[in-house]
A = this chain, B = another copy of it.
Amino acid sequence: MSVPVKKMHLNLFVLNTGHHEASWRHPETMPKSVTDIHYYTRLAQMAEQAKLDSLFIADALVLTPAIQHKIGGGLEPLTMLSALAMGTERIGLIGTVSTTYTEPYNAARMFASLDHISGGRAGWNSVTSVGDVTAINFGRERHPEHSDRYEQAKEFLEVVKGLWSGWEADALVADKQSGTFADYSKIHPLRYKGNYFSVHGPLNVARSPQVFPVLVQAGSSDAGKELAAETAELVFTAQDTLEHAKAFYADLKGRMAKYGRHADELKILPGFSPIIGATESEAREKEAMLAELITPDFGLIRLSNSLEIDLHRYPLEGPVPLEDLPSIEQVKGQKARFEMLVDMVKAEQLTIRQLIHRTATARGHYTMVGTPEQVADVMEQWVKDGAADGFNVMPPYFPGGLEDFVGGVVPELQRRGLFRTEYSGRTLREHFGLKHPDAQPVVTTT
């Protein structure tokens, strides 16, 4: 009798025409579909037919001149996911909302509403947003410092969880006979007073199926990991090697005990961007085709932003100027992304052009090229080795890269008993084996 294998969790990261920087130039993709809800509905349905746990929409609150060479201008996540909820039945729907530039009362209402609309399939990726370029769209001159953003994020989480938890399960009675619509003794104001937010409550949306959305985070800095260990139920992370992924996994799960949490209460899904072919050479051809479409224009802007230095001033074929970069303490944006890029340059001695190509495939997330069996081998190894509870799947281009994944890799994982062949639950928490928030205490005042 064989030991039952641990099943993995799969999330589809939906992003425009795909995760390869040049995907919008691929002959198969439809770049003008960025605002077409029917395009996204087809991708969501494809992922649902493959029984994926969830899909995820990233977000940024800014448009920069990089749009000259980079696809963008698409739909806002919460409206988009509410629409996708109507074209799907089981797959989880995870959207990004910023804790720096959103009113928590508004965010709490919208996620509660999405959770009702989807029948308990909502997830929230909380981010603190990036850069002064975002701040100036919200009446501020400067983006808050990293530590301030995390303090604010922590308060934001306390507020929205408190609002969501404020309605007891049987508060809404709707007793026509007595004329009692709700039992107000079971609807609790929050009366939160913090440094960043003061929110009285109660929430004006009735308790939703999951009580609150699955709490997702993707911050991989030290502060990000600490906040995730305390509050997150699902973590997306960019890890470029198995060793880094194992270290991150052990580090993050190891931080949970001090918050009274079990390691199983948080699932870690590294980004994973496979280029898949029926044969290895077919996969290599697909890789080469995408590589040919890369232009340095956008890559230079992207890396200049991440490394916080203007790379246009350096020769493309020369080394990445490590000596001119800011120190990690000086970095204002995503510290973990910065460190990963620097480590990559040091380990592989990359020129600027090489770094562009090395990260064009999925912005530094783990990439590989191979057959469905080879891809499944790697996924199996990562899960068995304690590097992942599953993957944030990032197809290089849509729909082809997703078709290759759901048509080749998913069946292979299912044959190996590593992935579900049918949904057993209805809600996103059930898909991920996470406990219902009923078991959690209600936040009242701070």
Contact = CB atoms under 8 A, between A and B. Distances in A.
Nearest to A201: B137
Interface stretch (A67-75, A351-359, A387-395, A422-430): A67-75
A140 to B, nearest CB: 8
A264 to B, nearest CB: 31
A31 B174 contact: yes
A106 B101 contact: yes
Contact of A204 (B60, B68, B139): B60
Interface in A45-98: 60-63, 65, 67-76, 78-80, 82-83, 85-87
A35 interface: yes
A172 interface: yes
User: How many A residues are at the interface, by size bracket?
Assistant: 35 or more
A187 B24 CA distance: 20
Which among A63, A82, A103, A203 has the highest number of chain B CB atoms within 10 Å? A82
Contacts of A61: 105-106, 109, 204
Contact of A180 (B69, B113, B180): B69
A313 to B, nearest CB: 21
Nearest to A84: B86
A69 to B, nearest CB: 6
Contacts of A65: 184
B204 A63 contact: yes
A37 B86 contact: yes
Contact of A181 (B70, B85, B167): B70
A202 interface: yes
A224 to B, nearest CB: 23
Contacts of A187: 63, 67
A206 to B, nearest CB: 4
